[in-house]
Structure 1
Amino acid sequence: MRYAVSLPPFTDAARVVAWAREAEAAGFDGVFLWDHVQWRGRVAPLDPWVMLGAVALATTRVRLGTLVTPLSRRRPVVVAKQLATLDHLSDGRAVLGVGLGAPADRDFSDLGEEADARVRAAMLDEGLELIDSLLRGPTSFAGKHHRVEADLLPRPVQRPRPPVWVGGVVPNRRPLERARRWDGVVPVGSPHDPTPDELARYLALDGEQPREGWDVVAHHRRGVPAQEYADAGATWLVGSASPASAGWEDEIEDLLRRGPGAA
């Protein structure tokens, strides 16, 4: 089992970088950032890709990426360039987490972006195919949403590309099927993240067996032993806090003090 923190970059930029340093010093294996343009109320998100560049230069060991980037409201060519650049800045530590994203109004329709979940899912699939091709070599791509002729250099440090993890809301089966085509799954829940039992049932939905190196990135519910998630199939356990809570910054700092795997 590996351990990570998922930080909402909804506070002072220097504080986010300091949290990342603290996470690495505490023994966490990954630092990931939420990806939002807007959120609820007056919360002010920073851009995660800019922040990840700063975090890459402030750390030496932890895996870095987004949990998760809604690919339908970002240009895949730009994401491919950002991901390759982050991989170089971090000396091969980048991960791309993707999903449909939320909320559909504040982060999509209010910004003039596609809000329909089915259309966004189709855009996600096409965008992943394009990013994969761009990071591997010269690309000639013609899809419903994107037409690209490109040879993006430099290639990423990790070959053929950094890992791709796909987020999905439990118990929806389609995100799991999408994730099987890539390098891992990030199951989330509504209104709460999956328990170990719910995680195990979700992973069994399609009858597939996880292949070697395929990651299951579970969110850690406070008070539940890490071993229960490992027994359910998790390979990563991620701690976080929701900015919907007035004391969320204190929760993050408490998480960092308690260290990896603390129940």
Structure 2
Amino acid sequence: MTTTRRRALHWIRQNVELRTLLVLAVVVGGVWAFGELADEVIEGETRSLDEALLLMFRTPGDLTDPIGPGWVEVMGRDLTALGGALVLSIFTFAVAGFFAIRRSWGTVVYLLASVGGGIAISHSAKLLFDRPRPDLVPHGVEVITSSFPSGHSMMAAVTYLTLGVLVARVMLGRALKVYILALAVLMTVLVGVSRVYLGVHWPTDVLAGWLAGAAWAMACFLGARWLSRRGAVEPEAPPAHAGPPEG
């Protein structure tokens, strides 16, 4: 090992936490995977896989009928609404209110900017790729925008995961942190699956939305850590046994 490389590794160990590197790797990996998937979609390489997966959610012999009894389709519409602009706005302002009660005004501003920025990127991406909606099966809900990436899936990932990581970082106790993050992931997954079930998105649309949204949420987590060290947002909670932060 050269002296330069040894010094570089020593600097990383002294100045960069392992968790930060892991989160950064997730961000970079998510962006790279999104780019690769978008390239495959543009070239039409995913068409056969998309069709096969989409048809798995349809009754054999009747493409107009989603699998399962009628109440499952009703539930699908209810779940897909969790990725709509109104519901996501309600959740966002509710969590902003949580931080406002804690008088974490910097976190309130950062939270609103993070969610708003991610949603703006989602809308821009849809305009950029302009992929047609699936024409293989009837749509279970009305849609008016293009297909790639799934706006509901990406906005759900951006909103729920970003809110999840920002709330979890100030909670005491690992179990509570895991619960909050697991709930955010579950909401994101349910919204994405419902879009395919209702026939309004190709599976790769949803996957792209998840990848981009998750990468954005992790980038926002890193941003919060950086800002907290400068006193701009609320610091991370200490371990449960350490008590509340001073000041």
Q: Which has the larger radius of gyration?
A: 2
Higher relative contact order (CA 8 A, sep 6+): 2
| Greater per-residue helix proportion | 2
So what's the TM-score if we normalise by structure 2?
Answer: 0.23
So what's the TM-score if we normalise by structure 1?
Answer: 0.22
| Greater per-residue strand proportion | 1
